Amino acid sequence: MANTERLTVLAKVREAKNSVSDLLEDDAIQGKDRALLEGLEAQLDEAEDTLILGELSDQIDDLKEASAALGKAVKKMEQSAKKIQRIADGVADAAKALKVLADIAVKAAAIA
């Protein structure tokens, strides 16, 4: 693998790691989501070290393992995101219903 390719991959790994680090600064992220992100940050850190320090021909198995682990983490994040989106959709529906009810109450009060 040429140095240019290695640097391109390194840039992507660092960008992902920085994004994860930014999310970890949010105290609202707790429990399983925080643990998943912390694990992901460690995996990205290891991948970064491999790219910087290792001779890639000697690190092929490590790179494949890191890729597989990151793929699993992404699937877990996607599942969590889908669950959160379903909850957010339900909350949005409830908010809309409450607004409609409030509007009806205002109109009813104006008539009375």
Range of 66's domain?
3-79
Residue 58 placed within a domain: yes
Residue 70 placed within a domain: yes
Q: What pLDDT, on the 0 to 100 scale, is given for residue 15?
A: 92
Q: What is the mean pLDDT of the chain?
A: 84
Structure tokens at 107: 């109109």
Residue with tokens 């992100």: 37
DSSP 28: T
Angle at 26 between CA 21 and CA 32, to 5 degrees: 80
Structure tokens at 37: 């992100």
**Cα→Cα distances 99→33, 50, 95, 109, Å:** 32, 54, 6, 15
Number of structural domains (the chain) is 1
> What is the mean predicted confidence (pLDDT) over 21-43?
88
Global confidence as pTM: 0.61
Residue 93 placed within a domain: no
Residue 24 placed within a domain: yes
Residue 63 placed within a domain: yes
- In whole angstroms, give the CA distance from residue 4 to residue 9: 9
> What is the mean predicted confidence (pLDDT) over 92-106?
84
Residue 102 placed within a domain: no
